[in-house]
Copies of this chain bind each other. A is one copy, B any other.
Amino acid sequence: MAGRPLIAIDWGTSSLRGARLDAEGGVLEERAATRGILSVPAGGFAAVFDELFGDWMQPPAALALIAGMAGSRQGWIAAPYCPCPAGLADVVARLAWVAPGRIAIVPGLSCERAGVPDVMRGEETQVFGALHLLGIDAGTLVLPGTHSKWVRVEAGRIVDFATLMTGEFYALLRRHSILARTLPDDDGGFDAAAFDAGIAHALRSPGLLQSAFSARTLALFDRQPLAQRPSYLSGLVIGEELRTRALRGGEQVVVIGTGALTQRYERALASLGLRVTGIGPPAAWRGLLEIARRIEP
């Protein structure tokens, strides 16, 4: 596929973004739209694609690769999960072609522990991109979010991963639980000391069912000012996530993402004595470029 322009697309549940790349992976142009798969009616994906990226597909030699939920049952076409361990070659072999040779959807990955499956869609592409951007082929990577993914890579292949519903638990506790009664309406600014206290309490607690109640009792005993409480709760849930990971001091952890949430993870991981490497959104484009490079012409 050398020399062909690549249209790289990350088509998620609630939003979509795309980039036009040159042969070396340089970004020529980017576009984003609130046209996540939940906003697209069945049978309507081709029209949305043409509307947003039709001009980029000229000349006809362009290749479009799409990562994310577009390959789910509710997406454009189903791209069945690729079982772990999985490397770039495995993903390339299982691309789901919407238009042969022109538009393909990258499959998500699945893994299984004790008879229970886990899944990801889109994060695998960011992981492959991050590995190439960092020049590494093994390690532990985390993608913080509503559903955080912890990924273990060996010899360039994703051998195992786990989903933790950290961001969703935060939102549930923040808005719908009894804790919401003692929290301010607005999250306000980040309070580093309160966040660190939440991390520390979660790490010495046996689990979130118990540590979460501390957000209530600290308020009840007037030991925590109102403005600190959202940051404390954020520390509790992120600390709970880190408590359950088998991290060794000095180990390197790659944090993929951008913005305030990523910074919180980097801060918490560094406080545990881990070597933290952050990598931003270009990871997705680089992952798609590496996939494109492995497609037989």
* A positions within 8 Å CB-CB of B: 114, 116-119, 147, 162-166, 168-169, 172-173, 176-178, 201, 204, 206-210, 212-214, 217-218, 220-221, 223, 237, 240-241, 243-245
Contacts and interface: CB of A to CB of B under 8 A. Distances in A.
Nearest to A178: B168
A244 B172 contact: no
Contacts of A210: 162-165, 244
Contacts of A119: 217, 220
Interface-centre pick from A177, A209, A214, A223 (highest chain B CB count, 10 A)? A209
A26 B214 CA distance: 39
A165 B213 contact: yes
Contacts of A114: 201, 204
A22 to B, nearest CB: 37
Given A162-B210, A164-B213, A165-B212, 18 more contacts: A114-B201, A114-B204, A118-B214, A119-B220, A147-B213, A165-B177, A165-B209, A166-B209, A168-B177, A169-B212, A206-B245, A207-B208, A207-B240, A207-B244, A208-B208, A209-B240, A209-B241, A210-B244
Contacts of A237: 209
